[in-house]
Amino acid sequence: MFKSGFAFVLSHINVKYDAPIQIIPDHYFRKALSHEIKEIKRMLETSDISDIKMLGIPVPSGIQYDSIVKEIKRGNSCQYEREKLPPEKWKYWVIAFEGNNSKIYDLQSAANLIKNDLQFAFQIFYLEKKQQGNPAGFIFMPTHLREYYSSHEAINSNAVNIEQDEIMKIGEIYDLYKKLPPKYQYIEHSIKNFDSLKRIPKKTELLTIGYFSIIETLITHAPRLNESLDSISHQIKNKLVLLRKRFERIIEYNSYFLNIKEKTLWSLLYSYRSCIAHGGIPDFVNKFQNLKSKEVVLDFLREIIKCLILYSLREPELMADLKNC
């Protein structure tokens, strides 16, 4: 029976902290210890995917946890150079836990909702407490995370700076999630769907459909045929205008899109969603020029959903009433 373990934080982050941060009892966010880093590197460098093993495909390089990446522009091209950091500045982070790993998956759901969301890659287990001795068990990195780890975007990224308070919010969100009454099951369903959508390639337009599905789950009801102003698009634009003022994080629309009124923006976003759903090719030169690009739309919707879920966890009764309005 395993007595301790850790989940490796795949996200490329740098955290200012004084000591290991207790997220929930027996679960600590901290820097990886030297013997843990050796195991992490081994896991990152070894493919556990059977079809890749059979094909003999080499495992590519990945995120530079021990380096700073510098972009060097030469004419019209860019090259990247790595500057090695001293070990004390390496950016290998873990969620270390005592006992079994049953809470890690719900902690992942909570970590999805902080501003700089974190992704846990794999887990390593020990037969002794406090991650001592030799590893005795593993849960390997899922395929979609391995693909991200070796992507051009990830390899050439530098760490995002995160404050200690943001890490501590994971535990606060976890507690709200675990205390959610059963009658608000649709909120729990939305949280799980939000996590599941990470398995879809990050920049595909299909994510837009998935994100809107979560928004609709949280704030809309099936349109009443006897009411002309009860369409899904009408509910979304009117309810989100009200809710945005209550979010704990400020979302500045103009930081994402060209200058546009809020209700007009949501009408345009829903039109963009419908275009994709019905097989159209969105035109960012003309009709959807205010939205800039699919990447901007996805980044915006991702932040909206995080804030919606957080507010739903804090005010589930109010959200349920609003959903039925």
Helix (H, G, I), strand (E, B) or coil at 271: helix
pLDDT in tens, 180-228: 999 999 999 999 999 999 999 888 889 999 999 999 999 999 888 666 6
pLDDT in tens, 238-270: 999 999 999 999 999 889 998 889 999 999 999
Q: What is the pLDDT of residue 229?
A: 67
Q: What is the pLDDT of residue 51?
A: 46
- Read off the pTM: 0.91
Q: What is the pLDDT of residue 50?
A: 44
Q: Tell how strand 120-126 and strand 4-9 pair up.
A: antiparallel
Average pLDDT over residues 165-180: 97
SS3 assignment for 38-75: HHHHHHHHCCCCHHHHHHCCCCCCCCCCCEEEEEEEEC
The CA distances from residue 136 to 172, 218, 285, in Å, are 31, 42, 56
Cα–Cα distance, 27 to 48 (Å, whole number): 26
- Burial grade of 85 (CB within 10 A; 0-12, 13-18, 19 or more): middle
pLDDT in tens, 270-295: 999 999 999 999 999 999 999 999 99
pLDDT tier, 17 (very low <50, low <70, confident <90, very high otherwise) = confident
**Residue 116 reports pLDDT greater than 90:** yes
Average pLDDT over residues 33-38: 96
Contact by Cβ (8 Å): 319, 312: yes
**Residue 175 reports pLDDT greater than 70:** yes
Average pLDDT over residues 128-133: 96
pLDDT tier, 15 (very low <50, low <70, confident <90, very high otherwise) = very high
pLDDT in tens, 69-115: 998 887 777 888 999 999 999 999 999 999 999 999 999 999 999 99
Q: What is the pLDDT of residue 54?
A: 47
pLDDT tier, 47 (very low <50, low <70, confident <90, very high otherwise) = low
Average pLDDT over residues 291-304: 96
* Residues of the chain above pLDDT 70, percent: 94
Cα–Cα distance, 301 to 114 (Å, whole number): 14
Q: What is the overall mean pLDDT for the chain? A: 92
Q: What is the pLDDT of residue 288?
A: 96
- Burial grade of 239 (CB within 10 A; 0-12, 13-18, 19 or more): buried
Contact by Cβ (8 Å): 241, 262: yes
Positive or negative: CA dihedral 95, 99, 101, 103? negative
Q: Which residue has the higher pLDDT, 57 or 314?
A: 314
Q: What is the pLDDT of residue 72?
A: 86
Positive or negative: CA dihedral 87, 89, 91, 92? positive
